[in-house]
Amino acid sequence: MSKAVDVAILGAGPAGCTLGALLRERGFRVVVFDDDKRPDLLVGESLLPTVVNLMRRLGIEDRVKEFSQFKPGVAFMHRGGQRLDFLFPEGVLGKTPNYAYNIPRPEYDNLLRTRAEELGVEFVHHRAKVEKGEGAREIQLAEESLTAAGMNGEHPKLLVDSTGRTRLFSKTLGLKSERGNRNDVAYFAHFEDFDAESTVDGQVVLSILEHGWSWRIPLPGRLSVGVVVDKSVAQQHGSTPEERLNGIIDAEPILKKAGEGRKRVTDVMTYTNYQLISERAHGPGWIAVGDSFGFVDPMLSPGLFMAMHMAEILDEKVFKRGPSVLDDAKKLAAGFSAIESEMRDWHAAWGEIIEYFYDGRMFSMYEGGTKLKETYKKWALPAMMEKHLSANITRMVSGVSTRSRYGQKLIEFTSKHLVWDTEPPEYYAVQASNEPAKATA
């Protein structure tokens, strides 16, 4: 390579390819290291409407349509029979489209890579190795990786960790991380002849089980089915991922009937430890993006949005000046610090709203709103209150206003003061290894 590399990105997942494509449009010389080794199935198959804006910016939405399932919204089903539907109505999400897509991840990830290549990003088929740095660099590429990329010993100005859950930079530097307080494990696979129970084609269904919760994501010609349970529950259903997924499906009434004639068409994948944030996202000469910095609980499907969005805000708030920004270490570090603070706020906001589903308050509010409409249907004010709350929740779970302080306070106030004559939140909560909460009536 004759020209010096501005940015080297390690890992060709959604965060890395998105950032690479955006930087290339700014005039950066970008190299992505990728060994092309990734599982056939990945979590993150259901997108948020906010991701569609990113697709449009990258110019790929029409191509995504060709292999994906249109997603009009999400439904939550409770083991007690209650159902809560979130559709994306016209106008509620502002300028954001009122739809999303359910995607086969390999096809989607490959398209992001293809788009990055079209824009001029260079890919090196090599599993990059790093080591603690010298001088102004806290971390640096090993000599063999520099050689593999033909850099002739000249190190890139910036390294980006996009290795996902491998978290290569954090582990190399011995950085600590904050883990979530759940001890869950997820098993999932693709099935044919499994009832999605969607009210509208493409609607994702999340079910609160006797123990844990599950997802059903419609994809073209198949259904992605996953269960998320405490590890102690999983151990009661066999010793292999296949035994455990089948055992849990058959043990849960809300899934058993829907999956009576099911045919599994993929291997069963296992995911653990999916709630984590590193103590630091950047340092001299490097930054971590996407899952390499932190990953979110898969309920509500925020993970892929968070990965791509971090790339987007880095581009807009740090790299918009072009390659010269890399020569100002202080300004670069200040920009990275601001982005890290913003992403921590995103993680906290998602964690807060997801907790409303885990601890049962969201279903309890829904029951309260339903009774409010039934009791005061002739009165405009209660109906307006319920409509206003529903619109705000829809915007928050769609990624449009997840960080809205007003929305957060509105939900908090409603759950504390405007919900009465309903089952307690404990009844609706996602249960771990204890017995499910009992209804009061």
* pLDDT tens digit sequence for 45-68: 999 999 999 999 999 999 999 999
**Which H helix or E strand runs over 23?**
helix 14-25
Average pLDDT, the chain: 92
Which segments of 68-134 does DSSP mark as H helices, in order? 105-118
Handedness of CA 116, 122, 126, 131 (dihedral sign): negative
Is the predicted pLDDT of residue 440 greater than 80, yes or no? no
CATH number of 184-272: 3.30.9.100
What distances in angstroms separate CA 405 from CA 296, 349, 394, one per listed residue? 20, 9, 15
Q: Which residue ranges make up each domain of the chain?
A: 7-68+103-177+276-350, 184-272, 360-428
What pTM value is reported for the model? 0.94
Fold match between domain 7-68+103-177+276-350 and domain 184-272: no
If pLDDT is split at 50, 70 and 90, which confidence band does 192 have? Answer: very high
If pLDDT is split at 50, 70 and 90, which confidence band does 358 have? Answer: very high
Is the predicted pLDDT of residue 437 greater than 80, yes or no? no
- 73 token code pair: 């919204």
What distances in angstroms separate CA 84 from CA 54, 87, 363, one per listed residue? 28, 10, 7
CATH number of 7-68+103-177+276-350: 3.50.50.60
Sequence-ordered list of residues with C-beta below 8 angstroms from that of 53, at least 6 positions apart, any chain: 96, 97
